[in-house]
Amino acid sequence: MAKDTDTRCGKVLAIVGNLVTVQVDIPIMNREICYIVICDSLSSEKRLMSEVIKVHAGLVYIQVFESTRGVKIGSSVEFANKMLEVDLAPGLLSKILDGLQNDLTLFPGIFLERGLYNTPIDFEAEYEFHPRMKVGDRVVAGDWLGHVRENWFDHQIMVPFKCAHNTYKIKSINGNGVYKIKDTIAVIVDEKSAEEIKVSMHQKWPVYFPIESYQEKLRLFKQLDTGVRVIDTLNPIVEGGTGFIPGPFGCGKTVLQHIISQYASADLIVVAACGERANEVIELFVEFPHLDDPRTGRKLMERTIIICNTSNMPVSAREASVYTAMTISEYYRQMGLRVLLLADSTSRWAQALREMANKMEELPGPDAFPMDLTAIISSFYARAGYVHLNKNNNSTPGSVTFIGTVSPAGGNLKEPVVEATKKAARCFYALSQKRADSKRYPAIDPVDSYSKYLEYSEVQNYMSKHISSDWVASVYKAKDLLLRGREAFEQINILGDDSVPLAYHERYWKAEVIDFCFLQQDAFDKVDCYSPIERQKFMFELILKIADYNFDFNSFEEIQDYFKNIINIIKQMNYCEFNSQKFSEYQNKLNTLISTKISTKISSSSIQMEAR
């Protein structure tokens, strides 16, 4: 592992944008990190971080993570003998990082000057270590040797992941005490080769490889609450699951992601802002330190890591940013946390791949995207999952749930990135322009969207145990009602109000009740923005009851007017604290309204019982 950079140099041969061709006469590896050395002015020399992406006919093609302005033919390129890796150690929580894991808050000045790099880990910081294992214990990669306290949880110090495939014996391990991050806290010995490895709180991991130091990956079963009704109830996502949100611009992708990042029932949220607007990321910086996590009462920022490569930051670092985010997520999963990774947007990453492929003059696939786009996306989504950690870690579960947004060109859901993602993700939250236009937010289309997890028997069992026994059946019923409502609406539109049976109007309006009172949710109202699952259950059952009733109506105008009143009352309920005085007042009002119109087929006494 020669670290002597003098002997590992090349020279720039050609420059097109961020793609630079380098001539070398030394062995280099694909995806190796290298630095172009330029002189910005007389005094300062700058090193521009780059990455090998292709070797062709003896020439090395590198993508530069910075602007290549001023690079010259013959400029020196130093190879670093490593791939892009991230520093893994206590102290990553609450950080705001760029795609290459630099801590953005540590950079001087207003502008992001190129050629500056740092690490978010404070190597001078001291942590109190508590050992968990003892000398002589047999360990494998990922085993928890002991922990330090990071913020609000026990950050496990693990046998380095690069020690996979071997077993080790602990030769020595430090007792309770305060140590710096790079201090040796244990020495482990390879049982076969007798090689000694010093373990500190710090390790590195190359981002393109998944961390696989766990016992097994399980089939998913456990629901992950997001507080968004149309997701949790109609199209639930599960711990370790994957989902994606495609939608044209202006349909509320980002608001939806922000809501999920605030209220999802995860221990840690990693937000990868990939090629999107800077002002959106600032919303997170500014608001999260003040907002409370509804489950723990701690500030949201305490459970958040933001990886941000906004659209004006170097394009080639976009790809790195999603991998950096995933690797950090996996690292915390290894400590038994439920991690939720949100990436906005994966299309920007795909576009970055396209830009490079284009500059390398590769033969293009559909819409000029590279041919292997589908493979790249699916292997990335495959890194999500629910695992049982090592036996030595008591087989503790941990998970990485991944939700990505896709920004399809022209809102076309048949474009290559959507198509590729559809094959990889199990939940599909289609944002509809039509719903957004009529301000029906969140604009997730209730009919087109799906969650494959509803079909999992494991998930069905979990729901019948934790929510109610016939939950999944009710969900399908609601979807059915919505579809029938849509069909009725089309019939009414084609034939006219008068020419369809009253039942069509009733059907349409019952679907509207579900839409207005359950699917729609006001992200900017402090009560309605977050709906815990028990509240969802209550409202969902209440609304489905209404759909079940037979009403006596004489005209379609009467139907419209009646259901608008119902919608208005339930919407007011949505704005009230659950089970508050006001909430029950509206509920009583609703019951009275229902009892006035209900047909004799169901007695009104059963409604009174609902009023609790």
Partner 1 sequence: MNTSNINKRAFQKTFTQLINITKATCTVKAQGASYEEMALVDGRPAQVVKIVGDEVTLQIFKGTNGIATNAEVQFLGHAPMLKVGDELIGRFFNAYGEPIDGRPEIDGIEREIGGPAVNPVRREQPSELIATGIAGIDLNNTLVSGQKIPFFADPDQPYNQVMADVALRAKVDKIILGGMGMLYDDFLYYKNLFDNAGALDKIISFINTTNDPAVERILIPDMALTAAEYFAIDKNEKVLVLLTDMTLFCDALAIVSNRMDQIPSKDFMPGTLYSELAKRYEKAVQFPSGGSITILAVTTLSSGDITHAIPDNTGYITEGQLFLKRDTDIAKVIVDPFRSLSRLKQLVIGKKTRADHPQVMNACIRLYSDAANSKTKLENGFDLTDYDQRCLKFAKEYSNHLLAIDVNESINEMLEKAWQLFKEFFGKHEVGIKQEFVDQYWKE
Smaller CB distance to partner 1: residue 409 or 447? Answer: 409
Smaller CB distance to partner 1: residue 72 or 298? Answer: 72
Smaller CB distance to partner 1: residue 14 or 164? Answer: 14
Smaller CB distance to partner 1: residue 297 or 496? Answer: 496
To the nearest whole angstrom, how small is the minimum distance from the Cβ of residue 575 to partner 1? 6
d(CA 215, CA 133): 19
Smaller CB distance to partner 1: residue 193 or 279? Answer: 279
Contacting residues for 311 by C-beta, under 8 A, at least 6 apart: 275, 276, 277, 278, 348
d(CA 496, CA 67): 61
Do 571 and 516 contact (CB within 8 A), yes or no?
A: yes
- H helix intervals, 6-54: none
Going from the C-alpha of 259 to that of each of 284, 295, 517, the distances in angstroms are 11, 14, 18
Give the residue from 324, 343, 382, 330 showing the smallest Cα distance to 244: 343
Smaller CB distance to partner 1: residue 468 or 565? Answer: 565
Q: Give residue 52's identity as a one-letter amino acid code.
A: V
439: its two tokens:
């301000």
Going from the C-alpha of 162 to that of each of 140, 327, 388, 423, the distances in angstroms are 10, 14, 19, 31
| Site of tokens 């922990």 | 147
To the nearest whole angstrom, how small is the minimum distance from the Cβ of residue 407 to partner 1? 5
Smaller CB distance to partner 1: residue 73 or 447? Answer: 73
530: its two tokens:
């977050």
To the nearest whole angstrom, how small is the minimum distance from the Cβ of residue 290 to partner 1? 12
To the nearest whole angstrom, how small is the minimum distance from the Cβ of residue 15 to partner 1? 5
Going from the C-alpha of 391 to that of each of 187, 221, 503, the distances in angstroms are 20, 21, 60
To the nearest whole angstrom, how small is the minimum distance from the Cβ of residue 448 to partner 1? 18
Cis, peptide link before residue 329, omega less than 30° from 0: no
Do 7 and 48 contact (CB within 8 A), yes or no?
A: no
Smaller CB distance to partner 1: residue 337 or 417? Answer: 417
Smaller CB distance to partner 1: residue 59 or 542? Answer: 59
To the nearest whole angstrom, how small is the minimum distance from the Cβ of residue 585 to partner 1? 10
To the nearest whole angstrom, how small is the minimum distance from the Cβ of residue 106 to partner 1? 9
d(CA 353, CA 53): 11
Give the residue from 417, 489, 13, 425 showing the smallest Cα distance to 220: 425
To the nearest whole angstrom, how small is the minimum distance from the Cβ of residue 569 to partner 1? 8
Do 565 and 499 contact (CB within 8 A), yes or no?
A: no
Smaller CB distance to partner 1: residue 119 or 215? Answer: 119
To the nearest whole angstrom, how small is the minimum distance from the Cβ of residue 96 to partner 1? 6
For residues 484-512, one letter each, b for 16 or more C-beta atoms within 10 angstroms of the residue's C-beta and e for the rest, the string is bbbebbebbeeeeeeebeeebbbbbbbbb
Smaller CB distance to partner 1: residue 304 or 390? Answer: 304
> If 0-12 CB within 10 Å is exposed, 13-18 middle and 19+ buried, where does residue 277 land?
middle
Give the residue from 407, 330, 264, 307 showing the smallest Cα distance to 94: 307
To the nearest whole angstrom, how small is the minimum distance from the Cβ of residue 358 to partner 1? 5
Smaller CB distance to partner 1: residue 37 or 80? Answer: 37
To the nearest whole angstrom, how small is the minimum distance from the Cβ of residue 271 to partner 1? 12
278 CB neighbour count, 10 Å cutoff: 12
Do 321 and 274 contact (CB within 8 A), yes or no?
A: yes
To the nearest whole angstrom, how small is the minimum distance from the Cβ of residue 329 to partner 1? 21
232: its two tokens:
């949790």
Give the residue from 147, 145, 148, 146 showing the smallest Cα distance to 169: 145
The secondary structure of residue 253, as a DSSP letter, is H
